Structure 1
Amino acid sequence: MSTFNTNQFALEFDTESPKKIIERALEEFGNIAISFSGAEDVVLVEIASKVIKDKSQLQVFSLDTGRLHPETYQFIETVRKHYGIQIDIVSPEHRGLEAFVKQKGLFSFFEDGHQECCGVRKVAPLRRKLSTLDAWITGQRRDQSPGTRNSVPIAEMDKAFGTEESPLVKFNPLANWSSQQVWEYIRMFDVPYNPLHERGFTSIGCEPCTRPVLPNQHEREGRWWWEEATHKECGLHAGNLEK
């Protein structure tokens, strides 16, 4: 049972820099990993690579849904080589995926909503990965999705993927940052990023469910654009919906 007090940590570090938050998180937990997919996450990798002495101890994982853009796969490889790290590529369990596609087809989300497909391709693999960890670090920001992420804390007990028997701590070091701050950091330190961002993609997920956003649209409006605008979540951060 973890004795780490997330509420105390969140209060103490709410105004601290992401670097200090990540540094302390890595000190507190040996079995901790960074969830990597987009611009925010590579900022986390950049910061962690500066504060951790032995890069072989830096755990990074990425979910491969089987439906990502080619540019995203290339981006993952670019990050792996740029930082000289291993990235654990986590894929869906093939029996469950094959059964789902056989029953529902490849594009059922346009008719039934995205949750079922995301459950098979994202949530189940993430649950499997997180069951091996004591803590994880995400790139969530409070301004990413006003309907679901506006109260994301710096640290929290992950009630969606942790249990009383196996508690899981979740750190969100960029919770207070804006998109502008993320991109200022990327440019300042020449951090690699997905080339799709240069083509109008702000929040990048699976290829069929992501499109560029128009001027003045919110950054997550390009995700599942055929659905209700205030529920742009796939289930990876299901706890947000409880707040």
Structure 2
Amino acid sequence: MASATTSVLKPSFKIEEINQQFTEATASQIIQWAVDTFGDGLVLSTSFGIHSAVMLHLVTTVVPDIPVIWIDTGYLPTKTYLFAEQLTDRLNLNLKVYQSPISPARMEALYGRLWAQNDVESLNRYDQIRKVEPMQRALKELGATAWLAGLRKNQTDHRKTLDFVSQQGSVYKVLPILTWNSKQVYDYLVAYDLPYHPLFDEGYVTVGDWHSSRPLTASDEHDRDTRFNGLKQECGIHLPQNMAESESLNSSLL
């Protein structure tokens, strides 16, 4: 694996051109391109969410030993931890678990139960401590120059604007299943006999921390209304870490 001091690759491609080419490419072709382009600098992230088995299977079929980054907030549902063990064993994942240096108990002592304060500022502080900082540290320590993720356009307003390949800070972001719909995800799970998160059977369509996720209801207009008390759609991990992003984290439209 590349060291944390690895310099950012100067791409031998133009992002606009490669994104145009990828409109006709399969997910596996996009993954293979990323492997060929970034080599040991390529990592994969997972949340062990509802359909995480799709990306984990897709990517490890092409590159079995890729480092898989999992941000463990310390507040995940019990069934998520069990699901993570199941998939890690089945797919023989090269799992890299990262956590905040601030324990849940210490955070609550200093700031209270941030998720229960019902304002975006508190949720953003929670996400920065428990999710964003560990992810940025993981990318740095693993010497990542490119990052595969399973984001899809139909998940959030922000994700509708994304391209197959972009830059997030100094790291390239590659999204092989960006244009997949729910049926394609389901069909892939069935085709390869892959498990979905057990909370799906309890009405969850997306799942994160136990205190900030709930089942879908008839009054919800969007799947992500079931996250973050409906106050926002993104936790910040998949948003650029710059001044513009700092401002956008304060918007419930993201």
1:152 and 2:159 are equivalent in the alignment? no
TM-score by length of 1: 0.86
TM-score by length of 2: 0.82
Aligned to 1:115: 124
User: Structure 1 residues 47, 193: closer, same or farther in 2, change over 3 A?
Assistant: same
Alpha-carbon shift at residue 215 of structure 1 (Å) = 4.0
Local SS of the residue matching 1:118? helix
Matches of 1:152 and 1:199, distance apart in 2: 30
1:137 and 2:152 are equivalent in the alignment? no
Cα deviation per residue 1:214-236 (whole Å; 9 max; x = unaligned)? 24732211102342xxx311101
Matches of 1:216 and 1:98, distance apart in 2: 34
Matches of 1:28 and 1:39, distance apart in 2: 29
Matches of 2:212 and 2:115, distance apart in 1: 11
Number of aligned residue pairs: 228
Alpha-carbon shift at residue 106 of structure 1 (Å) = 2.5
Aligned to 1:238: 239
Matches of 1:77 and 1:15, distance apart in 2: 35
User: Structure 1 residues 6, 65: closer, same or farther in 2, change over 3 A?
Assistant: same
Matches of 1:6 and 1:144, distance apart in 2: 23
Q: What amino acid is the match of 1:42?
A: A
Conserved in 1, the CA contact under 8 Å of 2:51 and 2:196?
A: no
Choose the corresponding residue for 1:45, options 51, 56, 80. 56
Matches of 1:125 and 1:183, distance apart in 2: 30
Q: What amino acid is the match of 1:68?
A: L
1:170 and 2:173 are equivalent in the alignment? yes
Which moves more between the two structures, 34-43 or 61-70?
34-43
Show structure 2 runs of 5+ residues with no match. 1-7
1:3 and 2:10 are equivalent in the alignment? yes
Matches of 1:215 and 1:48, distance apart in 2: 35
1:191 and 2:198 are equivalent in the alignment? no
Q: What amino acid is the match of 2:165?
A: A
Alpha-carbon shift at residue 74 of structure 1 (Å) = 0.6
User: Structure 1 residues 199, 108: closer, same or farther in 2, change over 3 A?
Assistant: closer
Conserved in 2, the CA contact under 8 Å of 1:41 and 1:138?
A: no
Aligned to 1:15: 24
Cα deviation per residue 1:175-201 (whole Å; 9 max; x = unaligned)? 111122111211121112210111111
Local SS of the residue matching 2:43? strand
Conserved in 1, the CA contact under 8 Å of 2:79 and 2:198?
A: yes
Alpha-carbon shift at residue 7 of structure 1 (Å) = 2.5
Identity %: 25
Q: What amino acid is the match of 2:42?
A: I
How big is the alpha-carbon RMSD for the aligned residues of Structure 1 and Structure 2? 2.1
Matches of 1:26 and 1:61, distance apart in 2: 16
Conserved in 1, the CA contact under 8 Å of 2:60 and 2:66?
A: yes
Choose the corresponding residue for 2:99, options 91, 97, 107. 91
Matches of 2:164 and 2:130, distance apart in 1: 27
Alpha-carbon shift at residue 100 of structure 1 (Å) = 3.4
User: Within 5 Å, which residues of 2 pair with 1:220-231?
Assistant: 220-227=224-231, 231=232
Conserved in 2, the CA contact under 8 Å of 1:26 and 1:32?
A: yes
Show structure 1 runs of 5+ residues with no match. none
Q: What amino acid is the match of 2:217?
A: L
